[in-house]
Chain A
Amino acid sequence: MPKGKGAATILRDITIGQHFPGNSPVHRLDPRIKILLTIAWVVVLLMRSNFIGMGIAALLLVLLYRMAKIPGRMVWRSTRPLLPILLFTTILQLFFNSQGRSLVQFWVINITTGGIYNALLFTLRIVILLVGVSLLTYTTSPIALTDAIERLLSPLSRLRFPTHELAMMMTIALRFIPTLIEETDKIMSAQKARGAELDSGNFIQRIKALVPVLIPLFLSAFRRAEDLAMAMECRCYRGGEGRTRLRQLRFTAGDLLATLFCLVVLGAIGASGYVVAPPF
């Protein structure tokens, strides 16, 4: 990219939702279990916690990332886009927590030991939570993921909730993200070749400059949607009823073992906050 960064390059930098194919135990674990464990992970990390719990959680992450052979660089790349938000919340914690001993007092700002403790703990917690959730998408293909979501939601289909359609929509949406990014790149290049300025000017000017990109992009998205609908129709797609699967999900002994292990560690993380009470 010659000048600044195009929207497409920025989108490519965000790795949440990117899949790293592999054949590690983490990859092979039943995707349904992985989703449930990830939900449990989020819940546990949002409970009362201290640095002991965070330490256990970090150890578990290091173990799992090593097992899955995901390069550490990816962890950095997935957290980097969220740094501004992290920084903002850290500062909020620092300034608006008045527990503990006061260290610096200046105008309305009152930095306390409790503030520092909580700011550090909070930031660490969010990072660990995020890195853990990323592991799900790194090690599970989008297809397996939506498949698992469909299976997990299947009890709802008794209540006429369209689980299959929902899963299909998610699969299609995921499938078209890279295609649309590529398309955006092409259209941006074409409009830049006609002298469009996409990355300069004030806010209003930039929004206006996006019109020549967005209109062709929407048109092509609709065209693709129509083509896809036609192709599905041609192959007699008629929804989930009576549909068989290429990949049957089976819960194995290995899955059970991995689940038990993760549950024990999650339990330890959850309990740590209550056994050793946080100082603030």
Chain B
Amino acid sequence: MPSIIRVEDLRYVYNEGLPTATEALHGISFEVAEHSFLGIIGPTGCGKSTLITHFNGLAKPTSGKVYIDGQDLWENPKDIRRFRFITGLVFQYPEYQLFEETVFKDIAFGPRNMGLSEEEIATRVRQAAEFCGLPEEFMQRSPFELSGGQKRRVAIAGVLAMQPKLLVLDEPASGLDPEGRDTILHQIKQYHRQTGTSVVLVSHSMEDVARYADDVLVMQEGGIAMYDKTDAVFARAEELLALGLSVPQITKIFLRLREMGLSIPTDIYTVKYAAETVLAYAKGEGGGHHPA
């Protein structure tokens, strides 16, 4: 399958040439297949946010190459703006970027910058708003009258309306209540399923990544610690804990159970799978042929 992201030996240094120079990314390489849902996790300051700003050319690699949708970002630096529309980047707390008088106009900002026709803009805005669960009557209201969760959805819709091939979200659910959190992440997953857009979700909530991502990239101190299928990554729960990361609560319970001598699989990270495992185990115990 063609890859939507290909990163080759990417190195990035902040404040290069100054005494405060710090290397945020130490030569990392990886590839992400098209139509995948990737979760990026790692402790604060590990370079997650620096990495994602390379996907739309806001940051320029100190050395190394970044390819998005098979194209080298910095082959022609004058042409970098077109990658802003190929990669839709949603920053942390995106509601603080809203500025227009109406929700409609704000969502239309991206598509308008793309130079689309008015009809095309209107269609895209309506579609994006629908995906984000924003009712039609919001369109003519001021974005500043809305609640925090609604504002966030307007901001995400503003990026979706550009219909990027790759959607990157930095902590899209932070600061929301549990319900708002689930709604937003669910809508993103839904959008991913329906449109086939590749999604990168940056988060430090293990629960969220475990529930929504197909692959997980674990970062640590500007490098890649693990990159694998979600279940394979969570099977290494002890290593994750050693990296100073947390694992889903359900995984912690099963780790503890293993410590107590129960032979159960290690790759448990969703409650549903956990329930099935426990039931199967109980059956096995009852039948008496489970190897203890």
Interface residues, chain A, with chain B CB atoms under 8 Å away:
1-3, 186-187, 189-197, 211-212, 215-216, 219-220
Contacts and interface: CB of A to CB of B under 8 A. Distances in A.
B109 A193 contact: no
Contacts of B271: none
Nearest to B89: A193
Contacts of A190: 91, 94, 96-97
B113 A196 contact: yes
Contacts of A2: 57-60, 77, 80
Contacts of A193: 56, 58, 84, 88-91, 159
Interface in B94-146: 94, 96-99, 109-110, 113-114, 144
Nearest to B110: A194
Given A2-B60, A3-B80, A195 B110 contact: yes
A219 B96 CA distance: 8
Query: What's the dominant secondary structure at chain A's contact region?
Result: helix
Given A2-B80, A3-B80, A212-B109, A191 B57 contact: no
A215 B142 CA distance: 13
Given A187-B96, A215-B99, A195 B81 contact: yes
A130 B97 CA distance: 38
B81 A216 contact: no
B99 A216 contact: yes
Contacts of B81: 3, 195, 197
Given A186-B91, A197-B81, A212-B109, A192 B99 contact: no
A186 to B, nearest CB: 7
B85 interface: yes
A128 to B, nearest CB: 26
Given A186-B91, A190-B91, A192-B58, A220 B96 contact: yes
Given A189-B91, A194-B162, A197-B81, A211 B113 contact: no
B53 interface: yes
Q: Lowest 10 CB-CB distances: which A-B pairs, in order?
A: A195-B113, A215-B99, A190-B97, A194-B110, A193-B89, A212-B99, A190-B91, A195-B84, A2-B60, A189-B58
A276 to B, nearest CB: 42
Given A190-B91, A195-B84, 15 more contacts: A2-B80, A3-B77, A187-B97, A190-B94, A191-B109, A192-B84, A193-B84, A194-B159, A195-B109, A195-B113, A195-B162, A197-B81, A212-B109, A219-B96, A219-B144
Contacts of B110: 194-195
B27 interface: no
Given A2-B80, A190-B94, A197 B113 contact: yes
Contact of A191 (B80, B85, B97): B97
Contacts of B113: 194-197
B158 interface: yes
Nearest to A218: B99
Nearest to B99: A215
Contacts of B99: 211-212, 215-216
A211 B144 CA distance: 16
A206 to B, nearest CB: 15
A8 B65 CA distance: 26
Contact of A194 (B60, B77, B80, B84): B84
A48 B94 CA distance: 57
Candidate in B84, B88, B97 with the most chain A CB atoms within 10 angstroms = B97
A216 B96 contact: yes
Interface string B260-276: 00000000000000000
Contacts of A194: 84, 97, 109-110, 113, 158-159, 162
A2 B53 CA distance: 11
B254 to A, nearest CB: 39
Nearest to B59: A2
Contacts of B94: 190
A192 B110 CA distance: 9
Contacts of A1: 60
14 contacts: A1-B60, A2-B80, A190-B94, A191-B109, A193-B56, A193-B84, A194-B109, A194-B158, A194-B162, A195-B114, A197-B81, A197-B113, A211-B99, A215-B99
